[in-house]
Amino acid sequence: MITKKFIIENTKTLIYALLIALVIRSFLIQPFYIPSSSMEPNLLVGDRIFVTKYSYGYSKHSLPFSPPIIKNRIFYNEPKRGDVVVFKTPADNRTDYVKRLIGMPGDKIQFINSNLYINNSEVIKSKISTNDKIFCGDNTIKVFTFEEILPNEKTYQSVYLKNFPYQNSDPFYVPDDHFFFLGDNRDCSKDSRYLTSVGYVNKKNLVGKVQFIFFSSDKRKGSIFFFWKWNETIRLSRFFKKIY
């Protein structure tokens, strides 16, 4: 027989569990799902990532629904150039984006002849593949894959369409307390180059640093609920992959 005491004790246990989960999610680590191909080849659609919330300190966006409890940013640690970061888009302060941090406060960022320049110095990139295929939305695109080296020697892979459609840009001057982000899939990314939709990201909008992939599945090959297709849908090789 279910007693009143039984109901009360189990309700308390449930509340405690929810509070612990809330604390972990808000202040320690939070999972996110990758829904777009803007960070290919480093992050794929269907990757589930863990993001550390404490890496850059805390703002209102560290909490669910971004309540205006924290006015600015507390315990702030400035992110490093090249970090892969989750942030709230300035356009609505609600949508989560994940991109690579390229420009620091005070930097000048520009594309010249499809090459990326930071403070008038070209970012060195070495071509490592000429025949890769990746996704842009539901379309497959042929790309050149490069290894890029940022001024702080951070190294990662980026991809460009073979005809290099994004040739030249006006200079972007990153304001104080703001950052400039790019997707690694350079010709298939809505990022800080597009000032009306993303633009410069205030430090208050930083959510956390991407650390590793804990699970990955290819939804194009079927749902994870179809267990008989797990050999096709589950990407075991991406489990616990560190993100650089």
Q: Single out the catalytic residue among 38, 62, 158, 189.
A: 38
Of 134, 125, 118, the residue nearest 185 (C-alpha):
134
CA–CA distance from 165 to each of 30, 142, 185 (Å)? 36, 13, 13
Closest CA to 191 of 114, 105, 91: 91
| Residue 38 known to be catalytic | yes
Q: What is the largest CA-CA distance in the chain?
A: 76
| Upstream peptide bond of 41 is cis (omega within 30 degrees of 0) | yes
Could you give the domains of the chain?
4-242 (2.10.109.10)
d(CA 235, CA 38): 19
Instruction: Compute CA distances 22 → 15, 17, 71, 119, whole Å.
Output: 10, 9, 20, 41
Query: Would you say the pTM of this structure is higher than 0.85?
Result: yes
Q: pLDDT by residue for the chain (244 residues), tens digit each?
A: 667 776 788 788 889 888 898 889 999 999 999 999 999 999 999 999 999 999 999 999 999 999 999 989 999 999 999 999 999 999 999 999 999 999 999 999 999 999 999 999 999 999 999 999 999 998 999 999 999 999 999 999 999 999 999 999 999 999 999 999 999 999 999 999 999 999 999 999 999 999 999 999 998 888 888 888 888 999 999 999 999 9
Contact, 216 vs 238, CB < 8 A?
yes
Catalytic residue among 53, 60, 88, 99: 99
| Tokens standing for residue 83 | 């970090």
Listed in sequence order, the residues at least 6 apart from 159 whose beta carbon sits closer than 8 Å to its beta carbon are: 40, 41, 132, 134, 143, 144, 145, 146, 184, 185, 186, 187
Residue 18: helix, strand or coil by DSSP? helix
Which residue carries 């267990």 as its tokens? 227
